[in-house]
Structure 1
Amino acid sequence: MSASVSEAPEAPEAKPSSRIPKVPFWVQIIAGLVLGALLGWIARSQDVSWLKETLGQVGDIFVQLLKLAVAPLVFFAILVSITNLRKVNNAARLASRTLLWFMITSLIAVAIGLAIGLITNPGSGTGLTPQDGKLPKREGSWIDFLTGIVPTDVITPFTELNVLQIVFMAAVAGIAALKLGDRAKPILALSESVLELLQKALWWVIRLAPIGTVGLIGFAIADYGWDLIGKYATFTADVYVGCAIVLFGVYPLLLATVAKISPLHFFKGAWPAIQLAFVSRSSVGTMPLTQKVTERLGVPKEYASFAVPFGATT
């Protein structure tokens, strides 16, 4: 008796995918830089006034959109981060230690920036001297600085984008909400929803960054030319060198000695947020991804929801 073998049905023929491959965001940014430089050179060398004006308008609109989102986003991010302390054990101790570390790392970064500036003197090629600058409109003491943090009304800090005053108001509102307890739940729910809405809107703006880059770089080259931009090459290099020292020098040292965490493990987990922040130039816009990788690295969600927004905005 012969065994009959049934033939397997033929697999359908694979159709070529018509989907356009997605271009990485960092490639879009670089393409924006190259295209902006090319258009700016054309506008300057050929004296194309309409192209220069168009590049300027594109860049201005992009910057205005960013500024539009910053003030309310800072306010609600700080407010929500402070109120999230209600979910954390030993909240006061953790909050004070977090702020202390923010101050320590900021001090280290400032010291590195000053040292690099003193060593390289990035303004030497510009031909500018301190006498070419304008005196500040106002001068004052540390007391004047501290009293200046307290706004005279609730509207002006948002219209003038005074971030310190916005942070102060958000901190006061967050502490008041903590004191109110359950009675503040409706306000907290609304604040969290508004924060998510603002983050989504800001992400849409960040997705326009390649176009904004075309306008900003193009107008700069069309208006100032390569000569002036070349004079600031040292300053640009200083910024990247300083960031590299902090990122690959200071952070690994603190991770290994204080946190007792492998720097390689940290960078492996944090790299998606670091990469997005680098190409988008927005710590606030990267905030949702930062929170995800922070939790993935083992930080409790309750604490991360306080530290990440506070750090990203301050």
Structure 2
Amino acid sequence: MRHISITAQIGIGMIGGALLGLAFGPKIAGVQLLGNIFLRLIQMVVVLLIFGAVIEALGSLKSDQLGRLGGKTAMWFLITTLIAAVLGLAIGYAVNPGSGIKLASVSTSATVAKAGTNFSQTVLDFFPTNIFDALAKGNVIQVIIFAILFGIVLNRANTDGKFNQVLRFVKQINQLTVKLVMLVMKLAPIGIAALMAWVTATSGIKVILPLLKFLTAFGLGSVAFLIVLFGFISWYAKVPLRGLVRGFSRIILVAFTTTSSAISLPIEMEDAESRLGVEKSISQLVLPLGMALNSNGLAMYLSLSCLTLTQLYGMSVSPMSMVKIVLLSVIACLGTVVVPGGGLVALTIVVPTLGLPLQRIAILAGIDWFSGMFRTVLNVVGDTTTAIAVASDEKLLNRDPYKVHADKMAPKHNL
């Protein structure tokens, strides 16, 4: 009997769950509990996984690699995020998603928590006062800040091998954490099926219809971004395009169905190393950092959302406002919540700064789950392609997995 891959199982779970929700409606909404249990099991180890991975990655690097890798990673993050934000504006103007939507039929009640818009306070909140409090609350950006500093100190103090035992202990904890995550991922098909059943049971198809144009625009922008990014990375890293796309298949599916960069991270790290040939030292540094600091999908979502809101209310957007939208979209990505719903929190930072009433983001709340699918795919693909580019620069990219994938896809001829 042929074994069904976890990727296929997740796909079957997604489709089956959606059909169950549509067939039984609200009567089956209680199945959400299974999906929430799955999400919590993943979330309980994600912060520990990030914490240990960053420390191990920085602690294991040679001193001359430390600054070089950090600079390259930051450069790639900034470039891809800017491109995504600009592309969001371009797609918004091309599709004009804000036209033809009746606001009178949409509730204007607040549906998201109000977030502070003070930039200084936002930056200050990146830095923890108590690392144990940050770990307990799952504050990813604060955990990463501490892990970066601890990893740098460990790297510099361990030049003579005095702290090898500490580094070895961190590596062992990381190995056990990854094993735990992989165990939990066996429940992914059931958990994702339950979540999809709940979404369609409680909202039905009608949740998409009022803003179908917005979702279409976001989908088109996402596809365009992926085509450009895959094409460029295939050329830059000198890897076959087919093998590259195939290597990303499971990452994209998990990101699309869970709508969470944090939950996708374990699969992202595993496939980056085993299916995309990225050296472990690179993936453990770039991917956790990218999860908190590089949000290509969120940048595109924010710029497209702001433009859509101005179109809904017939407001003109000046060239300076366009620049402001792009810059705010990039800045708001720093430290944004990496679990489902984080996009709406980021909007509460950007929208008031543009002079738009905060209540106007309520119109996007009903489809946040669906727009989150596109956001998360672009986020994780952007992070992983950055890891591939950095690994290629450092001569730490194994191209054999791409050849294997290419061979599997090539037609076979009988001689």
TM-score category by the smaller chain?
Answer: 0.7 to 0.9
Displacement of 1:196: 2.0
Q: Which runs of 5+ in 2 are unaligned?
A: 256-263, 294-415
Secondary structure at 2:61's aligned position in 1? helix
Is the aligned partner of 1:267 residue 2:267?
no
Which residue does the alignment assign to 1:284?
A: 266
Match of 2:202 among 205, 223, 229: 223
- Partner of residue 12 from structure 2, selected from 31, 50, 70: 31
- DSSP 3-state at the match of 1:22: coil
Q: Which residue number corresponds to residue 186 of structure 1?
A: 165
1:147 Cα deviation from its structure 2 partner:
0.7
The CA deviation at 1:274 is 0.6
Would the alpha carbon gap of residues 92 and 108 (structure 1) be closer, same or farther in structure 2, given more than 3 Å must change? Answer: same
Deviation (angstroms), 1:66: 2.1
Equivalent pair of 1:78/1:313 in contact (CA under 8 Å): no
Quick one: distance in 2 between partners of 1:108 and 1:189?
Answer: 39
1:201 aligns with 2:177: no
Instruction: State whether residues 230 and 241 of structure 2, in contact with CA within 8 Å, keep that contact through their aligned partners in structure 1.
Output: no
Q: Alpha carbons of 1:301 and 1:23: their partners in 2 closer, same or farther (altered >3 Å)? A: closer
Instruction: Work out the CA distance in 2 between the residues paired with 1:126 and 1:223.
Output: 22
For residues 138 and 312 of structure 1, what CA distance do their matches in structure 2 show? 21
Q: Contact 1:273 / 1:293 at 8 angstroms: preserved in 2?
A: yes
Q: Number of aligned residue pairs: give it.
A: 281
Residues in 2 aligned to 1:300 and 1:135: alpha-carbon distance in whole angstroms: 40
In structure 2, the residue matched to 1:92 is 67
Check the 8 A contact 1:56/1:216 in 2, yes or no: yes
Question: Per chain length, whose mean CA-contact separation is higher, i.e. which structure has more relative contact order (CA < 8 Å, sep 6+)?
Answer: 1
Task: Find the structure with the greater CA-based Rg.
Answer: 1
Provide the residue aligned with 1:9 in structure 2: none
Match of 1:59 among 18, 35, 50: 35
2:265–2:287 Cα contact (<8 Å) kept:
no
For 1:56 and 1:135, how far apart are their aligned partners in 2? 20
| Partner Cα separation in structure 1 for residue 175 and residue 54 of structure 2 | 13
Q: Distance in 2 between matches of 1:141 and 1:123?
A: 32
What's 1:4 paired with?
none
Distance 1:200 1:255 in 2: 31
| Cα distance between partner residues in 1 of 2:281 and 2:39 | 33
- Shift, 1:117, TM fit: 4.6
- Tell me which residue corresponds to 2:152: 175
SS at match of 1:96: helix
Give a deviation string over 1:99-128, Cα, whole Å, max 9, x none.
211221122223323443564437975847
Q: Tell me, yes or no, if the aligned pair for 1:81 and 1:310 is still in contact at 8 Å.
A: no
* Deviations 1:247-304, CA, capped at 9 Å, x for gaps: 2113424654xx3x44xx2434434431110122214322122023454xxx666555
8 A Cα contact 1:85 1:306, kept in partner = no
The equivalent of 1:10 in structure 2 is: none
User: Alpha-carbon deviation of 1:91?
Assistant: 3.3
- Structure 1 pair 25/115, CA: closer, same or farther in 2 (3 Å)? farther
CA–CA distance in 2 between the matches of 1:135 and 1:221?
A: 21
* 1: CA distance, partners of 2:164 / 2:40: 33
TM-score, scaled relative to structure 2: 0.59
1:245 matched to which residue of 2? 224
| Structure 1 residue matching 2:37: 3-state secondary structure | helix
Partner Cα distance (1:139, 1:313) in 2: 19
**Counterpart amino acid of 1:25?**
I
RMSD over aligned Cα atoms: 3.1
Distance change (3 Å), C-alpha of 1:56 and 1:188:
same
Residues 29 and 134 of structure 1, relative CA distance in 2, 3 Å threshold: closer
**Matches of 1:74 and 1:171, distance apart in 2:** 11
What is the aligned counterpart of 2:81 among 82, 106, 129? Answer: 106
Q: 1:136 to 1:36 in 2, by over 3 A?
A: closer
1:138 Cα deviation after fit? 4.5
Cα 1:64–1:122 change in 2 (3 A) is farther
TM-score of the pair, normalised by structure 1: 0.76
Which residue identity does 2:204 align to in structure 1? G
CA distance in 2, matches of 1:169, 1:124: 48
Q: Is the 8 A contact 1:76 1:195 kept in 2?
A: yes
Aligned position for 2:46: 70
